[in-house]
Amino acid sequence: MNNKLKIYTYIMLLFMAVAGLTSCESNDSKQDDPPTQGYLAKAKEILNEEIVLSTRTTMNGVDKTLLERGCPTKFKFEWNEEGGMILNLNNFTVGAMPFGITFRSTTKFTNLNNWEQDEYPGNGWVKFVGTDGKVTIGRSEAKGDKEGSGASVTGFLNVNTKQVEFIIDYNMMNVRIETFLQTIDKTRISRFDEEFAQYEKDLEEAKKEQGKN
């Protein structure tokens, strides 16, 4: 390889490296951009008041929910004056948990970055992230966030299809609540007690079958 070709090759490699870094920086900055007002308005319509979603609770990566369909879980969504969405989970307990857990986090909506767009293709997707969530035990109301708590929520919502998916990480004993991808059905709130009672009945049967009693 002659000197001119070596220099040309070096310049091209340097150019590609710089372009790659620029792309990454552009991708990261895009994630901090807020969605369009139209998307935010739809998100406020969808995620408001009490909604029942199916979840799995994991500890150290082990599914404690046991049932494939998950556990019916009641969340409450509110919005503050600054446009932040507040996600609340009040006194959540399932199976043999000795106490309930209450979680609260104020979230911020952003666009998806390039990698997330590959995971969630199509139009209508927005991302919401909450850090410094507050975790309390039992029926204690979680007021405000708690700086430095490490408790967090990361989720994705399609404002067109009403599909949602998010994970709450309590940052406590490696416990997480995973709300797997599903379509929101607001009529479930009227059937919550019935759904939860059936879940606990089926959970006991699953424990017997799996020898977990």
pLDDT of res. 208: 86
pLDDT of res. 8: 47
Q: How far apart are CA 120 and CA 126, in angstroms?
A: 10
pLDDT of res. 18: 43
Question: What are φ and ψ of residue 96, in 5° steps?
Answer: -95, 20
Check: CB of residue 127 under 8 Å from CB of residue 112.
yes
pLDDT in tens, the chain (213 residues): 554 444 444 555 554 544 444 444 444 545 568 899 999 999 999 999 999 999 999 888 888 888 999 999 999 999 999 889 999 999 888 766 667 889 999 999 999 999 999 999 999 999 999 998 999 886 666 566 766 678 999 999 999 999 999 999 998 888 899 999 999 999 999 999 999 999 999 999 988 887 766
Residues 6+ apart with CB under 8 A from 25: none
pLDDT of res. 9: 47
pLDDT of res. 64: 84
Q: Where are the beta strands (DSSP E) in 125-185?
A: 125-137, 151-158, 163-169, 175-183
Whether the full predicted model's pTM is greater than 0.95, yes or no, is no
- How far CA 197 is from CA of 74, 174, 179, 189, 208, in Å, comes to 13, 27, 19, 14, 17
pLDDT of res. 212: 67
pLDDT of res. 109: 97
